[in-house]
Amino acid sequence: MDLKYPPSHYNLSSVMKKHQRLQHHRGKGRDEEYDASSLSLNNLSKLILPPLGVASYDQSRIISSGWIISPMDSRHRWWESIMVLLVAYSSLVYPFEVAFLRSSPKRTLCITDNIVDSFFAVDIVLTFFVAYIDRRTQLLVREPKQIAVRYLSTWFVMDVASTIPFNAIGFLITGTCKLNLTCSLLGLLRFWRLRRVKQLFTRLEKDIRFCYFWIRCIRLLCVTLFLVHCAGCIYYLLADMCPHGKTWIDAVPSIRHKSLYIKYIASIYWSITTMTTVGYGDLHASNTIEMGFITFYMLFNLGLTSYLIGNMTNLVLEGTRRTMEFRNSIQAASNFVNRNHLPPRLRDQILAYMCLRFKAESSNQQHVIDQLPKSIHKSICQHLFLPSVEKVYLFKSVSREILLLLVSKMKAEYIPPREDVIMQNEEPEDVYIIVSGEVEIIDSEIDERDRVLGTLRCGDIFGEVGALCCRPQSYTFQTKSLSQLLRLKTSFLIETMQIKQQDNVTMFKNFMQHHKKLSDHLRTQKDGQNDDVPPNIASNLINVVSTGNAALLDELLKAKLSPDITDSKGKTPLHLAASRGYEDCVLVLLKHGCNIHIRDVSGNTALWEAISSKHYAIFRILYHFLATTDPQIAGDLLYDAVRQNNVEVMKDLLKEGISVDTEDHHGFTALQVAVAENQMDMVNLLTMNGSDVVGVNTHEFRPLEKLRVVKEEERVSIFRGHPLERKSRSCNEAGKLILLPHSLDDLKKIAGEKFGFDGSKTMVTNEDGDEIDSIEVIRDGDKLYFMEQNNSENKRK
């Protein structure tokens, strides 16, 4: 990576380079600075997709250099186009010469044929210097020896055979210009060159600069006309080889003495009417040879027609289905661009992306990987991606087990030039590793124009700072050339880092050391400013705690970050760790001397956050840590619970063993504060848990009066008879639900009115038969039993 202005968190090998200066994009904005040549559709058609995981692939290799010619070179493609025209000439002229000029060849045509053959001879020589794409590796092979071996073992023999001038050789042997049958048959090897025409049409069908419909129509039309031309020439040749017999040309008066034009038109007329099965009958077979040829030709046409109607339909639809879908999507995208008047940069970005996606999908690489078993899938990913991942600074000295787990979840993507991979201020979702190509770092917020800060290359990683620090991306990352990237989900990276603590620490040490060196470089660039950590890392300490990553937290604190930094709500990292149950983070913060007493804007401490969130283990750690230095911490907690009228927290505090009568820093108990603030629910809870009522003394109310107010809202169920007696005889008589009065006498009076006896002469018991002689021991929801005094005495006797 080459940094022209070192951002705070990227490849340090390039950051350490001196004499790097700030560069601006050309123009005022990204649309004005756009370089159309980088996304030219002509150049895009020449791109070669490297295999997955290949890091050393360079797109500049498609340019010819030295003696080796690139098949993507524009000059070579022009040469191929010229050779296609020569193929068309030789394929059309040769049948005409054999049929119509067999006895008296034209000198001009002979010279032209020899010149055309010489072009093909030159092409054979040039082929030994043309690089080729290996179909197995998809790499451009430029080694001369490999090029020669491949050509000699494939098309060389046929290319030479189709280039040999058999007519000239026959003239040297026989001494006559008349074409003999042997030379004519050997000359048919020239039709081997037609494969060039097929390759040209195949390439044009996938080139979005040309209309697919018309290219396909021209191809089918050329095939039909060529077959008609060849059949007409052969039919005339059969008649010309029998000059003294009766032939089909006798139906045309004096045709033998007419011009070549008339003869050719008659032959083509017969060929078309026969191929289309019209057969007007004006030109028909007149001898056995002609009958045999016409029979063969009709059968051939019958099979050809059946094949065209039946199989060609499937071939065109299935074989070109993806191409047709691709062209339809290109057309839809073009209409969208025109309808919405999008700038040229966006137009070419859209088309380039769709073309690249089509190329990638055509190779079916990722599809093949996805459908394989998991074990094979992991082995393939290991073979393809592991070498690239091992180069990344973040994974240095990380165990192989973790690396294999990471590469098994990586996805390879091809990104066209000038494509934004990550946008500035975007939430971190993915981390990218560069396998091949280049990616630029762009700051879009400096002086309201885009500024290139540096270039990332093979082995670099980007997006990791935003992912590990849980903050939006600081810069835009845009591809400079065709790039192959490995994409990994941020969530999976974080989960994998948590598997082995040692590897987790190693990765974050790599992270901090990497950015520490960047900071040292920045410090020398900024007149001695002291920055020990990358910018913005300190402000994201709270975000690191929110992920529960204790290893990164420990490394950040070792880098002398303050553990007491607060957010907008006044919460420290300890507040977040305690509220979310991150015990490891709490221990790390305590180890680095964080301040436990800090309160947020709501007045809550980390200890309160732990107990209110029901993280009891963290509460005990913090409580015992504080209790040794602050004896009143328990009273302060009870005070906070009363102040917030949080009955649930009060119950949890009492369950944790805190004394109900503990005093706070002001010398007040929880019951005193609850009575003073008129929190009757809290008063009731405290008294039920044994709070000292006698010692309570407030300015306005006596405590017993306060407690009586609480009792007014309590309800009890009353029953007639002794509870044990009712239970023994299975008594189902319903009781009465009443509000608990202020005194026991009032309670007996109410019971007498409800059950119709003298309540003053009754005894009150609980469910176990124990006598109740004070209203203070009765609680809300208790079941009370009333027995008349005489009955109770009989029971005792």
285-328 pLDDT, tens digit each: 777 777 788 778 777 777 667 766 665 676 566 556 677 777 78
**Is 411 in contact with 435 (CB distance < 8 Å)?**
no
Look at residue 433 in the predicted model and tell me its pLDDT. Answer: 92
* Backbone φ and ψ of 563, nearest 5°: -80, -5
In whole angstroms, what is the distance from residue 650 CA to residue 685 CA?
Answer: 9
Are 448 and 391 in contact, with CB atoms under 8 Å apart? no
Amino acid, single-letter form, for residue 175: G
Residue 11 tokens read as: 């490849």
Tokens of 167: 């007519």
Q: What is the pLDDT of residue 122?
A: 93
DSSP 8-class letter at 462: E
709 pLDDT exceeds 60? no
DSSP-derived 3-state class of residue 34? coil
pLDDT over threshold 50, residue 164: yes
Structure tokens at 280: 């007007």
Residues 346-391 pLDDT 10s: 888 788 778 777 776 666 666 777 777 878 878 888 888 888 888 8
In angstroms, the CA 554 to CA 544 distance is 10
Most confident stretch, 114-123, 446-455, 524-533, 637-646 = 114-123
Average pLDDT, the chain: 76
Residues spanned by CATH 1.10.287.70 within the chain?
Answer: 211-323
Q: Place 190 in a pLDDT band, splitting at 50, 70 and 90.
A: confident
Q: Which segment of 255-259, 699-703, 730-734 scores lowest on mean pLDDT?
A: 699-703
- Sign of the C-alpha dihedral, residues 197, 203, 206, 207? negative
Residue located via tokens 């280039």: 163
Give percent of the chain above pLDDT 70.
77
- Per the model's pLDDT, the better-predicted residue between 630 and 638 turns out to be 638
- The strand pair at 449-456 and 2-3 is best described as antiparallel
For residue 791, the model assigns a pLDDT of: 53
Spatial neighbors of 487 by CB under 8 A, at least 6 apart, are 410, 411, 412, 413, 430, 431, 432
- By residue count, the chain amounts to 797
In this prediction, residues 15-36 reach a mean pLDDT of: 38
Asked if 533 and 18 touch (Cβ cutoff 8 Å), the reply is no
pLDDT-derived band at 281, boundaries 50, 70, 90: low
Task: Please determine, for residue 655, whether its predicted confidence score (pLDDT) is greater than 90.
Answer: no
- Evaluate if residue 786 carries a pLDDT over 80: yes
Strands of the 783-788 sheet, one edge to the other: 736-739, 715-720, 783-788, 762-765
Angle, in degrees to the nearest 10, between helices 195-205 and 212-240: 160
What is the rounded distance in angstroms from the CA atom of residue 533 to the CA atom of residue 668?
A: 47
In this prediction, residue 119 carries a pLDDT of 92
pLDDT of residue 366: 67
- Which of 10-24, 101-115, 505-519 is least confident? 10-24
Domain span(s) for CATH 3.10.20.90 in the chain: 715-788
Angstrom distance (rounded) from CA 230 to CA 456: 59
Fold for 364-499, please state it: Jelly Rolls (2.60.120)
Which one is predicted more confidently, 177 or 197? 197
- Residue 121 has a pLDDT of 92
In the chain, the amino acid numbered 71 is: P
Instruction: State whether residue 135 is helix, strand or coil.
Output: coil
The yes-or-no verdict on residue 335 having pLDDT over 90 is no
Which residues neighbour 618 within 8 Å (Cβ) at sequence distance 6 or greater? 577, 578, 581, 583, 586, 610
The yes-or-no verdict on residue 714 having pLDDT over 60 is yes
More confident residue, 308 or 477: 477
Going by C-alpha positions, the residue among 526, 491, 493, 495 that lies closest to residue 511 is 493
> Computed from CA positions of residues 204, 210, 212, 215, in that sequence, does the dihedral angle turn out positive or negative?
negative
**Whether residue 181 has pLDDT greater than 50:** yes
Reported for 652-661, long-range contacts at CB under 8 A and 24+ positions apart, including other chains, are 652/611, 652/614, 652/616, 653/611, 654/689, 656/611, 656/616, 656/619, 656/620, 656/623, 658/634, 659/634, 660/686, 660/689, 660/690, 660/691, 661/691, 661/692, 661/695
Predicted pLDDT at 58: 53
d(Cα 641, Cα 14) in Å, to the nearest integer? 57
Smallest CA-to-CA distance from 702 within 728, 720, 683 is with 683
- The answer to whether the Cα torsion of 552, 554, 555, 556 is positive or negative is positive
Name the CATH topology of 715-788.
Answer: Ubiquitin-like (UB roll) (3.10.20)
The pair of structure tokens assigned to 514 is 């990497």
Asked whether residue 422 carries a pLDDT value surpassing 80, the answer given is yes
* d(C-alpha 87, C-alpha 633), whole Å: 97
Q: Mean pLDDT over residues 591-608, rounded?
A: 87
Among 23-37, 376-390, 453-467, where is mean pLDDT lowest? 23-37
d(CA 453, CA 443): 7
Predicted local distance difference test score (pLDDT) of residue 294: 78
Measured CA to CA in angstroms, residue 482 lies from 62, 392, 457, 556 at distances of 13, 20, 12, 37
pLDDT for residue 4 is more than 50 = no
Contact between 718 and 736 (Cβ < 8 Å):
yes
pTM of the full structure: 0.46
- CATH 2.60.120.10: which residues of the chain? 364-499
Alpha carbon 464 to chain centroid, angstroms: 15
Is residue 785 a contact partner of residue 764, using CB atoms and an 8 Å limit? yes
The residue to which tokens 């005070």 are assigned: 639
3-state secondary structure 281-307: CCCCCCCHHHHHHHHHHHHHHHHHHHH
For residue 765, list its beta bridge partners: 771, 785
Query: Which class in CATH covers the domain with range 211-323?
Result: mainly alpha
530-543 pLDDT per residue, tens: 444 444 454 557 76
Task: Give the residue among 243, 239, 51, 235 at the shortest CA–CA distance from 133.
Answer: 51
* Strand pairing class (783-788; 715-720): parallel
pLDDT for the residue 55: 56
Average pLDDT for 51-63: 55
- For position 9, what pLDDT does the model report? 43
Cβ count near 240 (within 10 Å): 17
Give the number of other CB atoms < 10 A from CB of residue 688.
11
Higher pLDDT, 694 or 133: 133
Residue 514 in this model has a pLDDT that exceeds 80: no
675, amino acid identity: V
